[in-house]
Chains A and B, each alone.
Chain A
Amino acid sequence: MLLIADIDKKFERGARVQVSLRIPDAASVMILFGPSGAGKTTVLRCVAGLEKLTSGKILFDDRDITDIPPQRRPFGYLFQDYALFPHLRVRANICYGLKDRGSIQRIAEMLKVADLLERWPSELSGGQQQRVALARVLVREPRLLLLDEPLSALDAATRDHVRGELARLLRAIGVPAIVVTHDWVDALSLGDQMIVMSGGRALQTGAPHEVFTRPADRDVAAVVGIDTVVAGRVNRREAGLLFMQAGAASLAAADPANGFEDYYICIRAEDVTIERGQAEQSSARNHLRGTIVDIVPSGVLMKVAINVGFELIALVTRQALGDLHLSKGVEVVAAFKASAVHLIPKPGS
């Protein structure tokens, strides 16, 4: 293990964060996922040395670094709004704290900031600021990256683009990373492993798409909030639609036009309707035949799991449950629009 962190942090006002974290030596991305106030950033700050542990231990490379100051930990920390020094130009920001100032050219080119070196941070767009901040961190060749909500400071239009770039970069540099996020799209596109946090505790650990599809309990389900996540591959592209293979089923989805072959297919339960009878054919609307495998209450509604070749979750009223005579083992047709399918490029594809 590269990092073994057993963190217990009590705050004066009573909040407490207790999490155990294991990061393997191989380059991989660990997601800390949860709502704000879950303690994700606290975990990251404890690993970085910016917060002192109340009790617990942090081992890095089998060395106890619990009481080592942040300056002497070989970590790169990306702050939520990047924290570029406003009184220094981009070049001086990247060189900050470096002894050998000649070595920034390669990093600057890799992150496409070579043309920005003489600018002030205030003259950069959000995406550019993020790249400069990453360059400033990477030029020091950290052994572990700590990214605090790396995309939340960006507007929605920029975010999708930057997210793709960040995913590619994390694969390319091969440095393990811990990424804090509350956005499930970030978690699926960046993460290899994920810890779901709430109220200062880890609720579930696993690969992101597995955690999203199979939350261990109601608490996790409430935190993760999406319902069906399944890996899928593009069969053919046609008229703005992707026809995809997912498990034993095939379905149509709106083409996000980013040219990937492998995606996570995400479908919200409230977008899925259940019908009895024959499956109709229509390219813009998916009709998948399957068997009900589970029915659980979800607030005032009922969550129905249907095996259509993969496990698809639908949300129906109790009224509909009775009207359609739905129960375990019943064969139904699940319908959803192609536009209700959210596609997220699979990490590493």
Chain B
Amino acid sequence: MNWEAFFTTLKLALTTSALLIIISLPLSYWIAFSKWRWKFFIEAIVALPLVLPPTVLGFYVLVGMGPQSPIGRWYESLAGHGLPFTFGGLVVASVLYSLPFAVQPMAAAFGSVERKYIEASWMLGVSSLGTFFKVIVPQSWAGVITGVVLSFAHTVGEFGVVLMVGGNIPGVTRTLSIDIYDQVQTLNYSSAASTSVVLLILSFVILSIVYGLNRKVWLLAADRRHRQEV
């Protein structure tokens, strides 16, 4: 078990999830409630990382962050160094790569909040922003937590994008999945096996939390409905 890679992975996943909460809440709200006719383009763009080969995404992020692009030059003039092959660059790539895993459960949960609760809140004098935090989010907890946990898990497991954008710098951009790849390359199977088992268990636990969470919420709702009928 490579602990350095473990902590790099953990730091990357936590940073990515935290940033994704900030980005996904407003973006999911917009996707759930906007009536803009070209909205589906934005939805398609958000979903792209689900189907795109990670190397393609990684390639574009690499080029987009590089010294040839305006964004890359702007960042370099600001930070004094480029984004590619740094932890910051890895975070940018991870946020893009895991975006659909955060946005889709959140947008689905927001969209399933009944319209009457939102309108009732408006009629009680509360602004759209206030309504979002007091009515929509509290009724969408399962979706929000699912989005955060899934994006965390997805970041832990990413490989192609990390390799393309981060390279393989120990202590900076070498994550667990890349470490496993390196171990196998050097025929160090026992180390690869122990790291793999950690990732397997971690993923299983995370997914169990997600499914268990949604099930519990579902049961609570059914229980309330039942009591209402009695």
Q: Could you tell me if B123 and A70 are in contact, using CB atoms closer than 8 angstroms?
A: yes
Contacts of A97 in B (CB 8 A): 121, 124-126, 130
User: Which of A75, A83, A86, A87 interacts with B119 by CB under 8 Å?
Assistant: A83
Q: Which of A60-94 contact B (CB under 8 A)?
A: 69-72, 75-77, 79, 81, 83, 85-87
User: Which of A71, A75, A136 interacts with B126 by CB under 8 Å?
Assistant: A71
- Number of chain B interface residues as a range: 20 to 34
Contacts of B116 in A (CB 8 A): 79, 81, 83
Instruction: Report the separation of the CA atoms of residues A293 and B119 in the bound assembly, to the nearest whole angstrom.
Output: 51
Instruction: Report the separation of the CA atoms of residues A81 and B224 in the bound assembly, to the nearest whole angstrom.
Output: 16
Mark contacts of A306-321 with chain B using CB atoms, 8 A cut-off: 1 yes-contact digit, 0 otherwise. Answer: 0000000000000000
Determine, out of B14-22, B133-141, B188-196, the stretch whose residues face the partner at the interface.
Answer: B133-141
Q: Could you tell me if A140 and B124 are in contact, using CB atoms closer than 8 angstroms?
A: yes
CB-nearest residue of chain A to B227: A122
Q: Which of B113-127 contact A (CB under 8 A)?
A: 114, 116-117, 119-127
Q: Could you tell me if B120 and A71 are in contact, using CB atoms closer than 8 angstroms?
A: no
Instruction: Report the separation of the CA atoms of residues A86 and B135 in the bound assembly, to the nearest whole angstrom.
Output: 9
Judge whether A48 is part of the interface by a CB distance below 8 angstroms: yes
Interface size on A, residues (CB 8 A): 23
A83-B117 contact given A96-B134, A122-B227, CB 8 Å threshold: yes
Contacts of A76 in B (CB 8 A): 123
Q: Which of A133-192 contact B (CB under 8 A)?
A: 136-137, 140
Judge whether B68 is part of the interface by a CB distance below 8 angstroms: no
Can you offer 10 A-B residue contacts whose CB atoms are under 8 A? A72-B125, A75-B123, A85-B117, A86-B224, A87-B135, A96-B124, A97-B130, A136-B124, A137-B123, A140-B124
Task: Report which B residues bind A (CB closer than 8 A).
Answer: 114, 116-117, 119-127, 130, 134-135, 138-139, 224-225, 227-228
Beyond A83-B117, A122-B227, list 9 extra A-B contacts (CB 8 Å). A50-B122, A70-B119, A71-B127, A81-B116, A83-B116, A96-B124, A96-B134, A97-B124, A122-B225
